[in-house]
């Protein structure tokens, strides 16, 4: 803290409280930044889920059209073409949905870097306390 040999206890306690207060403010700022970043990722994940829903509805419409065309025209290329397009859209929707739900897991939203910093700071304070 300081190099003064006979610094008062009040002064030392005041310095310690000031350092702890500064540390807490820094950790809170880091947590806010990390949560903000995680919420942005969650927003993108929700966007992917919405896109997957829109594409899935399109796929259902195309697949329904393909099924009708296939049954009606039994063997005409137009029906099978629509079926291929519908399956392709269904695969795209599935991939987007899986990516979105994986990115939205609670464990990926938690402020892990802040938690690690707090643990490291606690160990450092405990080590400094044990050294005295």
For the ranges 41-45, 104-108, 115-119, 126-130, the one whose mean pLDDT is highest: 41-45
**C-alpha span between 100 and 54 (Å, rounded):** 14
Q: Is 93 exposed, middle or buried, given 0-12, 13-18 or 19+ CB atoms closer than 10 A?
A: buried
Q: Is the pLDDT of residue 115 over 90?
A: no
Q: Residues 3-58: pLDDT tens digits?
A: 555 568 788 788 888 888 888 888 888 888 888 888 898 899 999 999 999 999 89
Backbone region of residue 75 per phi and psi (left: phi > 0; alpha: psi in -120 to 50; beta: other values)? left
Q: Is 107 exposed, middle or buried, given 0-12, 13-18 or 19+ CB atoms closer than 10 A?
A: exposed
**C-alpha span between 90 and 66 (Å, rounded):** 13
Q: Residues 55-98: pLDDT tens digits?
A: 998 988 887 777 777 777 667 677 777 777 788 878 988 999 99
Contact 74, 3 (CB under 8 A): no
Q: Residues 101-113: pLDDT tens digits?
A: 888 876 666 677 7
């Amino acid at each position: 803290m300081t190099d003064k040999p006979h610094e008062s206890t009040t002064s030392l306690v005041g310095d310690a409280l000031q350092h702890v207060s500064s540390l807490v403010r820094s950790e809170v700022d880091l947590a806010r930044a990390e949560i903000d970043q995680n919420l942005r990722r969650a927003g993108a994940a929700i966007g992917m889920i919405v896109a997957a829903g829109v594409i899935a509805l399109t796929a259902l419409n195309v697949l329904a059209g393909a099924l009708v065309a296939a049954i009606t025209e039994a063997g005409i290329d137009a029906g099978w073409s629509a079926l291929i397009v519908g399956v392709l859209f269904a695969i795209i929707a599935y991939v987007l949905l899986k990516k979105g739900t994986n990115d939205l897991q609670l464990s990926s939203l938690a402020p892990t870097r802040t938690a690690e910093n707090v643990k490291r700071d606690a160990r450092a304070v405990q080590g400094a306390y044990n050294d005295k």
